[in-house]
Amino acid sequence: MSILEIAPLVRGAYLAARSVPVILSPSDEAELELNVESVDQLAGAFPVELPDTVAVTVAGERHGFRAHTVGEVSPLPHGKDAEASAAAPRSRVVAGKVALVTGGAQGFGAEIVRGLVASGAFVYIADLNADGAAKLADELGPHTAALTVNVADEDSVSAMAEQIAATTGGLDLVVSNAGIVRAGSVLEQDADAFRLTTDINYVAFFLVTKHLGGLMATQRRTAPAWTTDIVQINSKSGLVGSNKNGAY
């Protein structure tokens, strides 16, 4: 069984039981053992209260997890009561939650990463610029993780989703920020530059939403009241075009 099928279900069970964001780390210890034959059975097998460590065996394959929080977090309203959280300080809304920012190694993305970390979130810095992502993660400390990803390549995005499931169990926030510009008029721009711009700025959002949204949807099976978000960063050029930036 794939970690993508199992870890988000386990994280969702903790979210439902504790009403605070948790991170799941691999663990050899287990205060609770659950043994089922299928993922569908696992989704309904969690008790109301969960200890800090749990192991699940699905069709003979065992996975152990430890649940912990990032800093001090308190319950926030979710589901039908989520509107109440809008009155809370902005930092409290993301405190302890697991976020990911594509194109997060530099520029606007790096500032989004810094803001989320300052507000108490655990943040994945996802970028094709592996060295830049690692450098920023070193700067900001243990509540970050660098991920190397080509957001325009489905296999790369799929692998990123699996790595997230294995590292934190799931996600609460995705910021799809990666974008590039290849300037040029439609009359003069070559097709490769047009395709590259479209793949990074448009197709990538589809791939990120497909695979990371799938991770969130699996998590929701055991935490139906827990709200998550996918945010796409866009330019005014999405509404008003430019004769020198046809692809963009």
Euclidean distance between CA atoms 82 and 106, whole angstroms: 32
Residue type, 33: E
Residue type, 233: I
- What are residue 145's phi and psi, to 5 degrees? -145, 135
Euclidean distance between CA atoms 14 and 7, whole angstroms: 11
Calculate the dihedral angle through the C-alpha atoms of 101, 102, 106, 110, rounding to the nearest 10 degrees: -10
Catalytic residue positions? Answer: 248
Token pair recorded at residue 71: 């800093």
Please tell me the chain's helix, strand, coil percentages from 3-state DSSP, rounded to the nearest 5: 45, 20, 35
Token pair recorded at residue 77: 């309203």
Give one word for 96, left, alpha or beta, with left for phi > 0 and alpha for psi -120 to 50.
Answer: left
- What is the Cα 194 distance to its own chain's centre? 28
| Separate counts of helices (H) and strands (E) for the chain | 8, 9
